[in-house]
Amino acid sequence: MEVIKVKGEIRTDLGKKATKALRREGLVPCNLYGKSTSLHFSASPGDFKGLIYTPDFKKAEIELDGETHRCILKKVDFHPVTDEIMHIDFLKLVEDRKVRVQIPVHLNGTAPGVTDGGRLVQTLRKVEIKTTPKYLINELFIDISEMVMGDTVRVKDIDESDTFEIVNHPSIPIASIQVPRTIKTVAEMLEEGEAPDLEDEDAEGEEEGTEGEEGTEEGSAE
């Protein structure tokens, strides 16, 4: 698992004025919490790019006064207009103490339903797991190689492991293969509450009937 290293400076003045002064200097105020730890520090926003602006889960190693703290990102506050990083909370990892983290879930394989014209839609991109720091992982996978059109894979379809517990409800959908409207049958459309467009078919039938009537009249005239 990739680890992002950050070198910070301990903060002793925690007032609002001091915090604003830090931001004016281009620094980010941060907190580091743990079982018996509560530290306040600041660091350059550039040090957090590889940790925040990525869909991947990563650990952080924060160096403060020569001591390194292994952490995970817990919360980031952004400015509502500029998207500038305003504040960051970190959780210190403690050996054998379980933590809950959001892990990206990726789809593995090629689904036959997609090959046949279906559209693959992923509705859940992160899964919450509970585990100890020793068994933290940076991603999860789910196999879609047997999915046909109309199929759905759910949290329960992720391979189980003895090293972590999945917190999300097993029935939550992760991805599905949607059937394109153009190849839905009338029965399927009715079942889903959609009205099939039969206007063209009726029009064709009326035209055919008109032609037949004209032919009958001509035959009678002869």
Contacts of 189 (CB under 8 A, 6+ apart): 195, 196
How much is the pLDDT for 195? 59
CA dihedral in degrees (205, 206, 208, 210; nearest 10)? 160
> For residue 102, how many other CB atoms are within 10 A of its CB?
15
Q: Is 221 exposed, middle or buried (0-12, 13-18, 19+ CB in 10 A)?
A: exposed
How much is the pLDDT for 14? 81
Domains of the chain: residue spans and CATH = 3-93 (2.40.240.10), 100-191 (2.170.120.20)
Q: What is the mean pLDDT of each run of 10 residues along the chain (222 residues)?
A: 92 86 92 87 92 91 93 93 93 92 94 93 96 93 94 93 94 94 60 58 48 46 44
How much is the pLDDT for 146? 94
pLDDT tens track for 91-143: 999 988 999 999 999 999 999 999 999 999 999 999 999 999 999 999 999 99
How much is the pLDDT for 218? 47
